[in-house]
Amino acid sequence: MIRKIVTVFFIGLIIPIVISSCRRDEQIQPATNNTGDTTQVFKPTPYSIEYPKGYLWPRLLANTTNPLTNEGVELGKKLFYDAILSASNTISCATCHKQEYAFTDNRRFSLGPNGEVGTRNSMPLFNLYGSELLPNSNTHRFMWDGSQPGLETQVLAPIMNPIEMNQSLAELERELRAHPIYPTLFKKAFGIDSITIKYVAMAISQFERILISGQSKFDLYKQGLAQLNESETRGMLVFGSEEKGDCFHCHGDIHFNPFFTNYRMHNNGLDSVIKDSGLFIMTGNPADIGKFKTPSLRNLSFTAPYMHDGRFNTLEQVVEFYNSGVYRKGYTDEFMRKHPEGLKLTEQDKADLIAFLKTLDDYNFINNPKLNVR
């Protein structure tokens, strides 16, 4: 029964892909070459994605307003790693989103240009396009509180945030236009003669969409190329069974969902007294108090500390929280309230669950030189 619900749920993710790829979006045409020389047609090379094997990996939405090109992705990567984006010229996106940590930070709260700290833990960046497969009616796609509807708009938030990059967009445009290399790169990627923020956001979003992680031990196992040991196999059952860990409702059914998250907003019962009200800040709806974006369980060995406020340093602490520490009243999700006495996992169950979670670590992803500028 539940398996069915989960299947229907995941198909819910797939249908919008089909629908949107049939719909012809309004096209934003890249500016054309204005020299009058018709032999110099602007023609970037389409980027071809290698999707991981072993699952029916969902495809990116056919994005007609910002199609991926080799030139766009390369430019986006360069910008992602460039501190020119910040007012102080000391902070790049990669300062808080480091490849070795699956593009998050190992600090509880990342440091701003003058050592300022925020109140939320940085988020890992991989398989982000999965959030874009949610139905169009669901605009709470990015950030812990779902405040950003799309990648292109998200980019502007850290650039302008006073405790992050603290940059004026007009100043950034001026700096990029005066740069020795960027004008040529933007011209190649978008055919434009004058750099604007819109194209900065488009390029970075292209790079973010190709951050795909799907080469873990578990992925090899799905392809019949690796074996899970006994503990990992038992842990997979703890993860997926209603009577044990019951994690799959939010973190994805192992048979259908390769992302290990449903990308939706839930209150997993961290607190009885809520300090950060999460999605409620956006919607004002009391039912949304304490809801945060469900993170993927891939790459957990690299992404500590955990939760929106980085309160847990280890997976042992996280698993013990789910086992015995969940606040099961108030606005807490019904899937957490289902177990009024706690999960009652044995020491063996907990160790097995963690062993399984570690099979989702993707060392190829954090070491892939193509995702870095080194």
Residues engaged in binding ligand HEC (CB under 6 A): 85, 91, 93, 95-97, 110, 112, 118, 120, 122-123, 125, 128, 142-145, 154-155, 158-159, 164-165, 204, 208, 245-247, 249-251, 266, 268, 270, 292-295, 297, 300, 303, 306-308, 318-319, 322, 333, 335-336, 353
Alpha-carbon distance 75 to 183, whole Å?
11
Shortest Å distance, C-beta 224 to ligand HEC: 25
Quote the tokens at residue 339.
């177990």
Shortest Å distance, C-beta 103 to ligand HEC: 8
Nearest to ligand HEC of 96, 192 (CB atom): 96
Shortest Å distance, C-beta 212 to ligand HEC: 14
Nearest to ligand HEC of 45, 100 (CB atom): 100
- Collect contacts of 18-26 with beta carbons under 8 A, ≥24 apart: 20/61, 20/62, 20/136, 21/61, 21/62, 24/64, 25/63, 25/64, 25/65, 26/65
Shortest Å distance, C-beta 270 to ligand HEC: 5
- Collect contacts of 94-100 with beta carbons under 8 A, ≥24 apart: 96/122, 96/158, 96/164, 97/122, 97/124, 97/125, 99/366, 99/368, 99/371, 99/372, 100/302, 100/366
Nearest to ligand HEC of 98, 217 (CB atom): 98
Nearest to ligand HEC of 188, 249 (CB atom): 249
Shortest Å distance, C-beta 170 to ligand HEC: 16
Nearest to ligand HEC of 68, 165 (CB atom): 165
Nearest to ligand HEC of 208, 219 (CB atom): 208
> Which residues have C-beta within 8 Å of that of residue 72, sequence separation ≥ 6?
44, 47, 66, 189, 190, 202, 203, 206
Alpha-carbon distance 320 to 343, whole Å?
9
Quote the tokens at residue 58.
């969902």
* Beta carbons of 216 and 366 less than 8 angstroms apart: no
Shortest Å distance, C-beta 253 to ligand HEC: 12
